[in-house]
Amino acid sequence: MTSPLRLSVLDLIPVRHDQTSRDAIASSVALAKWADELGYTRYWVAEHHNMPSVASTNPAVLIGILAANTERIRVGSGGVMLPNHAPLVVAEQFGILEAAFPGRIDLGIGRAPGSDPVITSLLRSSGTTSDVDTFPNHITDIRSLLHPDGAGLRLTSGQLYELRATPHAASAPDVWLLGSSDYSAQLAAGLGLPYVFAHHFSGGSTTHALDLYRRGFTPSEASDAPRTFLTVNVSVAETADEAYALALPQLQHMARLRTGQPLTALATVEEAAAYQLTPAQQQLVDGMLQTWVIETPQNAASRIRALAEQFGVDEVMVVPNASAHHGVDPATAPGRVRALEVLAAELLG
């Protein structure tokens, strides 16, 4: 008998050439509603800036939209890039979300900027934000501010100034630390926080990072034992060829990104089939094919279960990387919907 497995979703809210931002958001709202009905555990949105193919720029706003359109599923950030934000603002945003949707909000926090240096400079131009050197302290501050008891700030006069993210909070969102390095794994362990390593784009170090996290974990109020799950890029269709065709636009996009080429909105299946990569870009695509799950339903389920067993997790967060064929309703993403359907049927029963 196989052990139970939970499934979750990470969504960058991709934008195809034939979509507006409104279309992309509408398709993600529909996807989240369907994930909720299918029994997925959580639905997270990323933070990226100034990318033609990504509409997930503001996790807090998107989480409010998604949570209002779903009933049961946990909704969260994967993640809020803390160096771009003042900790008090993050705490206030997620305190409000938790108050509106109690027991359903996850605050995933990362240290990367989520964009290029120009955009990073603009994000921080309004004043001092969460500098990476003080990242651990700011995480602790956010947790304290979100606690129903609030926090205290000692003023230079000696007076204790009370602070709360939201008045009369009855609960707090779950705080997760996200990362792709030894640093994040060790920090999560030291703070006793749930942790997610970015296996979907840095898979070669996953075993090492999770081992560091588990061995160094210190129990805390947030978690009495290590908590983690696996993130995996997927494209699932009735045939392996169709799964590859649906994934190719995103694979090509990642190859262009990593070779410093100008980025565009996500190609359709037909546009990707006609596009010619450089040898260096093709090499990158070939490498990604080794870690992505691009399969038929049964094979995809087998690979996902094997990965969960390999890394000792009981939850897998899938990134449904499927574009669409030319002529599809721009407010829909049928390939992504189908991927969630077949994985739920194979793995959730």
Q: Which range marks the domain in which residue 261 is found?
A: 6-348
Residue 1 domain-assigned (yes or no): no
Tell me the Ramachandran region of residue 280: left when phi exceeds 0, alpha when psi lies from -120 to 50, beta otherwise. alpha
Residue 285 domain-assigned (yes or no): yes
- Residues 19-71: tens digit of each pLDDT: 999 999 999 999 999 999 999 999 999 999 989 999 999 999 999 999 999 99
Residue 10 domain-assigned (yes or no): yes
Residue 155 domain-assigned (yes or no): yes
Cα–Cα distances in angstroms (integers) from residue 191 to residues 130, 223, 257, in the given order: 18, 10, 34
The answer to whether residue 343 scores a pLDDT higher than 50 is: yes
- Residues 151-196: tens digit of each pLDDT: 887 777 778 888 888 999 999 999 999 999 899 999 999 999 999 9
Determine contact, residues 249/231, Cβ cutoff 8 Å: no
Q: Please give the model's pTM, rounded to 2 decimal places.
A: 0.94
Q: What is the CATH number for 103? A: 3.20.20.30
- Residues 292-342: tens digit of each pLDDT: 999 999 999 999 999 999 999 999 999 999 999 999 999 999 999 999 999
d(CA 337, CA 25) in angstroms, rounded, equals: 14
Name the domain count of the chain: 1
Residue 282 domain-assigned (yes or no): yes
Nearest to 212 by CA among 189, 178, 180, 179: 189
Residue 227 domain-assigned (yes or no): yes
